[in-house]
Amino acid sequence: MAARSAHAVAQVAIVVCIMVCRCAAGAEPVHDEQDRSLNWYVQMGAYVHWISSDDFEGAPLFAGVEIHLKDGWSGGFSIFNNSFGQFTQYAYAGKSFRPWDTHPEVRVAVTAGIVHGYRDEYYDTLPIRWGGSWGIGVVPAIGIHKKRMGYDVALLGVSGLLFLVGFHL
């Protein structure tokens, strides 16, 4: 019962954050993000879809911050509950591409970095790992970014999809 309550609270918090981001998106940015050499971006997980429901344990919590450079490179840090309910961190670098000139709002990205938090019997779910809870992660994503808002879908290995909502500061 407590797990259902925590899940309901997480869902309400996510809906509220999405509403706040949508309202903030209407505000004009101080500078056009294309003209700035770097740009901060905050994001949160709106929903996780696991391929197998047996993989999921606990509320799908995710929050992250990234710094985007004008040339498409980025760096970031995310915290989340992994599919086994363990608190996990991901520090990464990435590259974004805009593959279609006719649709400049579409972004394809890939990040790679250090993951910490997969422990005990779930440690071996990381293909490259060391030290009991450390490993390498690679996360491809596709999304739409308009004005200050971003909506992405990230592929979580072969386990699931993470739906993200973000805001350029």
Amino acid (one-letter) located at 14: I
Residues 125, 145: Cα–Cα separation, whole Å: 32
At the top level of CATH, which class does the domain 2-168 belong to?
Answer: mainly beta
| Domain extent listing, the chain | 2-168
Given this model, what pLDDT does residue 17 score? 42
pTM comes to: 0.74
Q: What is the largest CA-CA distance in the chain?
A: 50
Give the closest residue to 82 by CA, choosing from 157, 143, 147: 157
Given this model, what pLDDT does residue 126 score? 81
Given this model, what pLDDT does residue 21 score? 41
Give the closest residue to 56 by CA, choosing from 129, 112, 109, 6: 6
Given this model, what pLDDT does residue 31 score? 38
Phi/psi at 131 (5° precision): 65, 20
Given this model, what pLDDT does residue 108 score? 96
Given this model, what pLDDT does residue 81 score? 86
Given this model, what pLDDT does residue 58 score? 59
Residue 30 CB: number of other CB atoms within 10 A?
8
Residues 75, 94: Cα–Cα separation, whole Å: 6
Given this model, what pLDDT does residue 53 score? 63
Over its length of 169 residues, how does the chain's per-residue pLDDT go in tens digits? 344 434 443 443 444 344 434 433 443 333 344 556 789 999 998 777 777 666 566 566 899 999 999 899 999 999 998 878 889 999 999 999 998 889 999 999 999 999 999 888 877 788 888 888 899 999 999 999 998 999 999 988 777 888 999 999 9
